[in-house]
Homo-oligomer: A and B are copies of this chain.
Amino acid sequence: MRQIEGGVTAAKGFMAASTEARIKYSGREDLVLLYAESPCTAAGVFTRNQVKAAPVLWDRALIDQERQVRAVVINAGIANACTGKEGEGVCKKTAQETARLLGIDSEEVLIASTGVIGMQIPFDKLKTGLLPMKRMLSPELEAGNRAAKAIMTTDTHEKECAVQFFVDGISCTLGGMAKGSGMIHPDMGTMLSFVTTDAAISRELLQKALSDVVEDTFNMISVDGDTSTNDTLLVLANGASGAKRIEEEGPAYEIFREALFFVCAHLSQMLAGDGEGATALFEVIVKGADTREHARTLAKSVITSSLTKAALFGHDANWGRILCALGYAGVPFDPEQVSLTITSANGTLDIFANGCALDFDDATAALILSAEKVTAICDMHAGSEEACAWGCDLSYDYVKINADYRS
């Protein structure tokens, strides 16, 4: 497996188009059409929020019915959440219009939205935007890149990742895109993420690989502890590579799972590092835990601690806050056994061991903490399980962005 350029159009047989539909933004593209030349096996994971956006309900129904998928329509600016019957109607009309344009079935069209909650999508604008998109569809990497930009809201850059891998000697590609960057505390997938592959795989195994990989990738990131109403992660597999269909667990499935993990882990880290107002990606590795679940819970507790995040923003090695966040995670452990190390491109420093702070130099710590990616390694000395979580620092800009998001 090797990383290659590209995103959702990296795999064979997938095309993308994007346009400025002015649904809420203007002066930028805000509507994306993703199209598969042949029917795709689809899998998805969605928000566990009790309040689910209309497109989440639409997609989940189609995924549950094991429908094959040909297209995905994505808009940025308005989330189509808390929009009642009118919002459901917009989804249905969007699918019908897309199906008519592409000559496919409306139940082969998935939909995703992101943006302000509670506002209705002006369907006339969305329809006007859709009309010319069929002829704009392109399989080029550039089209995938424009799509990754068009789905952004407060993101500062697009997020794409792709890999090449081999199934029985046949080259397959898997690529994806994602967008954040606030209300990020996924409890299934992230806000919006789309992965395409030309590998062939059964629906059951595709869903299994996705659900499995999500636990250690998208479900291990947090920007602000708020689980969105719109979290959606879709994977489409069209089999265009010509590789043998993966229908049972085994070496080919493991290779596929590894590729999916790589892309999801990269997209997750990109989301965390581009969290609203973030100046640094914060990685927390908990090792030496007694169970995997405990390791995950401990790591997530640290990346979601506002105090720890603010200290990181200030490049302050306030390790007491990390210990404190481990302590309230709800996992039993002996504080006397914990050791803590911080590391980044700027160096490595042991700062806590055996229940006491080590004698470290604050200036060295500040230098380490001023890198673009900072890792804290917490060794619980209680077992051999490990987990990794990704977050970001808490800055003035997070407050600024969110004090005035609607206007």
Chain B residues whose C-beta falls within 8 Å of the C-beta of A228 in the assembled complex: 324
CB-CB nearest 7 A-B residue pairs = A117-B320, A314-B403, A51-B327, A310-B402, A227-B328, A49-B327, A50-B327
Interface of chain A residues 298 through 325 with chain B (CB within 8 A): 304-307, 310-311, 313-314, 316, 318-321, 323-325
A50 touches which of B119, B226, B316, B333 (Cβ 8 Å): B333
A335 to B51, Cβ gap below 8 A?
Answer: yes
A310 to B394, Cβ gap below 8 A?
Answer: no
Binds B, one of A12-20, A246-254, A262-270, A353-361: A353-361
Interface of chain A residues 202 through 256 with chain B (CB within 8 A): 224-229
A314 to B82, Cβ gap below 8 A?
Answer: no
Interface of chain A residues 163 through 199 with chain B (CB within 8 A): 182-183, 185, 187
CB distance from A58 to the nearest CB of B (A): 16
CB distance from A193 to the nearest CB of B (A): 18
Chain B residues whose C-beta falls within 8 Å of the C-beta of A224 in the assembled complex: 306-307
Beyond A82-B355, A313-B403, 10 additional pairs, beta carbon < 8 A: A51-B326, A82-B335, A117-B320, A117-B323, A118-B357, A119-B357, A226-B307, A228-B324, A314-B404, A314-B405
Contact with B along A380-407 (1 / 0, CB 8 A): 0000000000000011101111111111
A328 to B224, CA, bound (A): 13
CB distance from A82 to the nearest CB of B (A): 5
Is A103 close to B, CB under 8 A? no
Give the residue name and chain of the B residue nearest to A310 (CB): B402
Is A367 close to B, CB under 8 A? no
Copies in the complex: 2
A320 to B50, CA, bound (A): 13
Contact with B along A326-348 (1 / 0, CB 8 A): 11110111011000000000000
Cβ contacts A to B, 16 pairs, < 8 Å:
A50-B328, A50-B329, A50-B333, A81-B320, A81-B324, A82-B355, A84-B336, A119-B357, A224-B306, A227-B324, A229-B323, A306-B306, A306-B402, A310-B401, A314-B402, A396-B399
Give the residue name and chain of the B residue nearest to A324 (CB): B229
A323 to B48, Cβ gap below 8 A?
Answer: no
A319 to B118, Cβ gap below 8 A?
Answer: yes
Is A352 close to B, CB under 8 A? yes
Main secondary structure of the interface of A (DSSP, over half): loop
Is A83 close to B, CB under 8 A? yes
Is A116 close to B, CB under 8 A? yes
Chain B residues whose C-beta falls within 8 Å of the C-beta of A314 in the assembled complex: 402-405
Given contacts A51-B326, A306-B225, A399-B395, whether A316 and B404 have CB atoms under 8 Å apart is: yes
A82 to B321, CA, bound (A): 11
A328 to B403, Cβ gap below 8 A?
Answer: no
A407 touches which of B86, B316, B396, B407 (Cβ 8 Å): B316
Chain B residues whose C-beta falls within 8 Å of the C-beta of A403 in the assembled complex: 310-311, 313-314, 316
A187 to B328, Cβ gap below 8 A?
Answer: yes
Chain B residues whose C-beta falls within 8 Å of the C-beta of A84 in the assembled complex: 336, 354-356
Chain B residues whose C-beta falls within 8 Å of the C-beta of A355 in the assembled complex: 82, 84
A326 to B352, CA, bound (A): 38
Give the residue name and chain of the B residue nearest to A320 (CB): B117
A49 touches which of B52, B318, B328 (Cβ 8 Å): B328
